[in-house]
Structure 1
Amino acid sequence: MATSTTGQPPPPEEKSQHTGSVDAVERTGAAKPRSGTAALARRVHFLAGLAVAPFLVIMCLTGLANAFTPQIVNTVHGQELFADTGTGSPRPASDQVAAAAAAHPEGIVKAVIPPPEPDRTTRVVLSVPGLPDIDEFSEEDLTVYVNPYTDHVQGELTTVKDRPPAQVWLRNAHGNLHLGPPGRLYSEFATSWVPLIVLGGLVLWLGRRRSRGLLTSSRRSTSEHARLRGLHGWLGLCLSLGLSALAVTGFSQSNFVGDRVDQLLTTLDSGEPSLESEKVAAPPGAARIDIDRVLETAGADGLRGELTITAPSEPGEVFTVEETGEGWPVQSDSIAVHPYTGQVTERLAFDDYPLLAKLNVLGVRAHDGTLFGIPNQIVVSLVALGTLVLIVLAYRMWWSRRPRGASWPPAPPPIWRAHPKTALLALVTAAAILVWVLPVVGITLIGFLVTDMVINAVKRRRRPRT
């Protein structure tokens, strides 16, 4: 007797075939995106992410170490940084400077940094010839560490902008892998591409959410690729803001993009200001004031925290005193002190900074993990660790798309021929603009476009005609 199959589930054979086709689509990525924008975002997100991920792993690992620089430096250089005797009243700062100068009579005093805390030593920065080259981008100095209670010289280190060797090493490892100027390209390549990769991922995530509803969950699937894609998408969404913020705040410290940022701030008259005191004439018979008088003037003017006193290098130049602590609240006020009368000749407060200059200072300190202390370090570490997990998921998801019996997973299908010539022209124009704004991104994007088109043209020529 014949029975109708309308409304009944398909036979087991048909159901098995249908499920297999769905899993194959999810595994191989054969399903085409619904729009040209999604197709472009998918291809750029995949290929750029595949190329940038190894460099981003290095950035995350070195960034983790760099975020905890204060703790590492205190451990490695504790003998120099911490006073071995912290009882009694501190000696005059001028006596401590004299002790450092006596230890190195060939040196010239450049700066003095009194201890910001009672258990710290006084740092006297000297210009001494013949120092070892530990940084290719800045001049080295010799910093002598003096016990403020005994005037005893506890140690000395070759420093760069008052950064001890451990801090210089960590900074260069993160910024250029100790390869000098060529090494800076690796970090700029990774950080410049991160915002574009994040943008491509958001386009894909929003496209999938829009097709299923922003508040609805993804359909369940037994495909490993689908599960990894869902986890990768949600984790990427959570990290997108922090990852992009770290990349953007690192721009000002990069090579090419850093120059563009400086040019932009200068054009907008929003660069970081500095004291511009002119030379002063010495009154007849007057002697130059000492460091103690300069400190007294700075305290009376309201400067607090860690202070860096820069000594005059020529007759008539003024003393400058600057708040150089990196924590919150931000203290970056500075004054110029007359070298003979001890009067303040110029003052520059952080409140006087243009808005963009303030944001740049805050961004750099947040990037380094020094703006909010331990909480800032924890946030940076979580973003770095989360990014490492995100990259592992991405590679695993890519490998799960490998067809049975294939050696390598396929890349998303090329989309250039499917786009109108006007869209491709707009893309090439955008790449040309990026050559100036983000030179490393622009050049690599143009190289990617040319290489991708050539490879696809060769494949089409080799494809047998039917």
Structure 2
Amino acid sequence: MTTAATPPRTSFAWRGLFLRLHFYAGVLVGPFILIASLTGVLYALTPQLESWVYSDQLRVPATSQQLPLSQQVDAAVATSPRGSLVAVRPAPEPGATTRVLFAEEGLGESERRAVFVDPGTGRVTGDLVVYGTSGVLPLRTTLDQLHRNLMLGEPGRLYSELAASWLWVVALGGLVLWISRARSSKRVRTHGLIGVWVLAGALFLSATGLTWSAYAGENVGVLREAVGWSTPTLQIPGGSGGHGDHAEHTSTGGGHGDIDAVLGSARSWGVDAKLVEIGLPATPGGAWKVVEIEKGLPSQGDSVAVQDDAVVASVEFDDFPLGAKLTKWGIDAHMGVLFGWPNQLLLLLIGGGLVALVVLGYRMWWKRRPTSGFGRPAPRGQWRKAPRGALAGLGLGALLVGWFAPLLGISLVVFLVVDVLLGRRAKTV
């Protein structure tokens, strides 16, 4: 009689294969995931910090009476900014300032100069460079660029894409290993337990992060377009539509005296978000663009074109394809602005968990390194023990995933080549 069941040879081979892949991905990609997690945690903390640092520009004494929006714009223009007036963001609540936005030579992509105006008195409280449709201020812009590309421009985006590409592989591989270990041992490692708790968050961050990436993100866009999930764009008569998260307004002029009537027409149509942006016409007499840019609520995303005090074109968020809605919600949640502070808290927990996973993972590797006396966690050649048919299917799946996420595919090939070379070197030593 046998007193204990022996794990099937095939199951052990699959576990060894996943363990080796998890090991290599964790060791070699871990630094990228660590940096992305740390910078992401810092970014999630910035809304409240930003409100404190820039309180002089953002907050004014609340008043029940406000000047017409056109007079607020006049006050900003009177400061003689070097750029062209392109858009206005009315104060969303009492005690907040109005932002008057200018396109200015020398600014980076998606950057504009914002002049802040007290809506009650017309006093200009300052000016700052803001970034993207979220209108983030310099502090958060710096952390955003640090998280996105290590402030190295387009080449630096490879780091974040590599981290996002491998995060889901490491997370799912860790889940397989945790389940297989739980069946054979009652001992629970802290590393594995934390991994299970942050699994869903890691998968979410990986998926939403890839939508912004250079290469996989382009494939995501092609896929969304193929299945009819692209985000609708507002077609402005006599101009171009579009209002992406990092879009740059290029309107060049036109008077702004009608801006109060334009906002009134948009409000009457149904643009009810507190936070809106009014884009000036691209040509004199052309249509204005009014867009809801509220990020805290999932249903605020309508946009209209207003001409001669009438709405001449519109896009309603309710009519967005499901994929477009999911993309918007996913991006807002990834940025920590969906539903406010609960979203921030969740990101802090997920980011902190990922940091702990990487640190504990390196600790495990250090204890089990070949020179430590504990031996290798998974010897080479595990793939030879797996069923050939299943292995071929796994290889085909890896090719498809590698094509969709090129950095994942290239780095996987590099891992395999390094493993083979180290194995040959070990046999010759």
TM-score (norm 2): 0.87
Which residue, 378, 397, 422 being the options, matches 1:412? Answer: 378
Q: Which residue of 1 aligns with 2:6?
A: none
Which SS does the other structure have where 1:250 is aligned?
helix
Which SS does the other structure have where 1:103 is aligned?
coil
Task: Give the alignment of 1:228-267 within 5 angstroms.
Answer: 230-267=189-226
Q: Which residue of 2 aligns with 1:144?
A: 115
Does the Cα contact within 8 Å between 1:86 and 1:118 map onto a contact in 2?
yes
Task: Give the alignment of 1:51-130 within 5 angstroms.
Answer: 51-83=28-60, 85-104=61-80, 106-130=82-106
Moved more, 149-158 or 310-319: 310-319
Which SS does the other structure have where 2:291 is aligned?
strand
Q: Which residue of 1 aligns with 2:288?
A: 319
Q: Which residue of 2 aligns with 1:291?
A: 259
Task: Give the alignment of 1:369-380 within 5 angstroms.
Answer: 369-380=336-347
For residues 37 and 450 of structure 1, the distance between their equivalents in structure 2, rounded to whole angstroms, comes to 20
Q: Which residue of 2 aligns with 1:26?
A: none
Q: Which residue of 2 aligns with 1:163?
A: 136
Task: Give the alignment of 1:448-463 within 5 angstroms.
Answer: 448-460=415-427, 462=428
Does the Cα contact within 8 Å between 2:112 and 2:129 map onto a contact in 1?
yes
Task: Give the alignment of 1:160-309 within 5 angstroms.
Answer: 160-161=131-132, 162-209=135-182, 211-212=183-184, 218-219=185-186, 230-279=189-238, 290-304=258-272, 305-309=274-278
In the alignment, residue 58 of structure 2 is paired with which amino acid?
A: L
Q: Which residue of 2 aligns with 1:368?
A: 335
For residues 379 and 409 of structure 1, the distance between their equivalents in structure 2, rounded to whole angstroms, comes to 38
Which residue, 10, 25, 47 being the options, matches 2:24? Answer: 47
In the alignment, residue 258 of structure 2 is paired with which amino acid?
A: D
For residues 62 and 418 of structure 2, the distance between their equivalents in structure 1, rounded to whole angstroms, comes to 65
TM-score (norm 1): 0.81
Which residue, 291, 300, 304 being the options, matches 1:331? Answer: 300
Q: Which residue of 1 aligns with 2:310?
A: 343
Question: Given the alignment of the two structures, is residue 443 of structure 1 paired with residue 419 of structure 2, yes or no?
Answer: no
For residues 102 and 256 of structure 2, the distance between their equivalents in structure 1, rounded to whole angstroms, comes to 19
Does the Cα contact within 8 Å between 1:64 and 1:384 map onto a contact in 2?
yes
Which SS does the other structure have where 1:308 is aligned?
strand
The CA deviation string for residues 142-168 of structure 1, in whole angstroms up to 9 with x for no partner, is 111111011111111122233321121
Does the Cα contact within 8 Å between 1:431 and 1:446 map onto a contact in 2?
no
Query: Post-superposition shift, 1:421?
Result: 6.2
RMSD, aligned CA: 2.4
Task: Give the alignment of 1:357-436 within 5 angstroms.
Answer: 357-402=324-369, 406=372, 410-414=376-380, 415-419=382-386, 426-436=393-403
Moved more, 423-432 or 165-174: 423-432
The CA deviation string for residues 90-123 of structure 1, in whole angstroms up to 9 with x for no partner, is 1000001111112126432110000111111110
For residues 68 and 81 of structure 1, the distance between their equivalents in structure 2, rounded to whole angstroms, comes to 18
Which SS does the other structure have where 2:92 is aligned?
coil
Query: Post-superposition shift, 1:400?
Result: 2.9
> Would the alpha carbon gap of residues 61 and 361 (structure 1) be closer, same or farther in structure 2, given more than 3 Å must change?
same
Query: Post-superposition shift, 1:54?
Result: 1.6
The CA deviation string for residues 227-260 of structure 1, in whole angstroms up to 9 with x for no partner, is 5x62222221111111111111111122212111
Which SS does the other structure have where 2:238 is aligned?
coil
For residues 64 and 397 of structure 2, the distance between their equivalents in structure 1, rounded to whole angstroms, comes to 66
Q: Which residue of 2 aligns with 1:29?
A: none
Query: Post-superposition shift, 1:129?
Result: 2.6
The CA deviation string for residues 401-460 of structure 1, in whole angstroms up to 9 with x for no partner, is 357x74896352112444566666555544432332111100000111122123223333
Does the Cα contact within 8 Å between 1:398 and 1:409 map onto a contact in 2?
no
For residues 320 and 295 of structure 1, the distance between their equivalents in structure 2, rounded to whole angstroms, comes to 10
Which SS does the other structure have where 1:188 is aligned?
helix
Query: Post-superposition shift, 1:182?
Result: 1.4
Which SS does the other structure have where 2:125 is aligned?
strand
In the alignment, residue 158 of structure 1 is paired with which amino acid?
A: V
For residues 97 and 364 of structure 2, the distance between their equivalents in structure 1, rounded to whole angstroms, comes to 53
For residues 105 and 173 of structure 1, the distance between their equivalents in structure 2, rounded to whole angstroms, comes to 29
In the alignment, residue 300 of structure 2 is paired with which amino acid?
A: Q
Which SS does the other structure have where 2:112 is aligned?
strand
For residues 408 and 144 of structure 1, the distance between their equivalents in structure 2, rounded to whole angstroms, comes to 63
